[in-house]
Amino acid sequence: MNGLLPLCLSALATAAIYLETWAVGQFLIGRPAVLLPLTGLLTGQLETGLWMGLSLELLLLREMPLGAASPPDPVLGGFLGLVAVNLAGDPADSTEARIFAGLLLAVGLSYLAAWHTHWQRQVNTRFWYDRFEQAVELDEPESVDRLFWLAMLGTAVMAATFGLLVLLLATPVAGLLLQGQRLLPAAPTLFKWMVLATAVGTGMKLGTGRRPGPWLLLGWLGSVGIYLIFLEMAG
């Protein structure tokens, strides 16, 4: 998956996801655990999408109430991180290496996407509010409808532009992360432990209602131990 066409298609998908989760107000696919496995299936990296989706749900669940996507926005952040890894990846890259690189990107991009959402709302409020108010006062439903669709089009264009710019910057970073892991033979196993430990540790944090710290460290160590036992049993 290389070239300009995948970038453009991904930018359009970014706009569609943004409209579905924010502008329209529906969250049918706008969950990391739903969207990322679906994206992984379509791009031939289902396992990577599953791991990233479930891990992001745990990592950012406290920050992302059920039924909402921002702030932060792990839906867009995870999608863009997964696509960047797919664009930069090599067939020889292991699934574990892709998961680690994708999660590193996704967490950072989730907060960047939250900033974009805030900025997008400010632009929409300043540019469209007075126009909508005037159309309502004049009792012109046709004008209201026209303004609505123009606002949606403007929102989609800005979201697509954001997605394209992010991918242009994130794809080289994903390539560097993957290249670094190729130089470390033990990286895939270590990084899979880290993904498991982060998910379990964050789950413990959520369950206790405490902030990261001792609970996260305990979950990290515990999950690594469990995974080592699993590897030993698997032979």
* pLDDT value of residue 107: 79
Provide the 8-state DSSP code for 142: H
* pLDDT value of residue 235: 46
Cα(10)–Cα(85) distance, integer angstroms: 13
Q: What angle do CA 149, 14, 30 make, to 5 degrees?
A: 90
* pLDDT value of residue 67: 47
What is the residue extent of each domain of the chain? Answer: 4-183, 185-235
Cβ atoms within 10 A of the Cβ of 147, count?
A: 17
Burial 99-121 (b: 16+ CB within 10 A, else e): bbbbbbbbbebbbbbbebbeebe
Cβ atoms within 10 A of the Cβ of 130, count?
A: 10
Cα(12)–Cα(7) distance, integer angstroms: 9
The residue type at 216: L
Burial 15-50 (b: 16+ CB within 10 A, else e): bebbbbbbbeeebeebbbbebbbebbeebebbebbb
Q: Report the sign of the C-alpha dihedral through residues 199, 205, 208, 213, in that order.
A: positive
Tens of pLDDT along 100-117? 788 888 878 888 888 887
* pLDDT value of residue 188: 57
Helix/strand/coil for 44:
coil
Which regions of the chain are under pLDDT 70? Answer: 1-7, 20-29, 59-71, 181-235
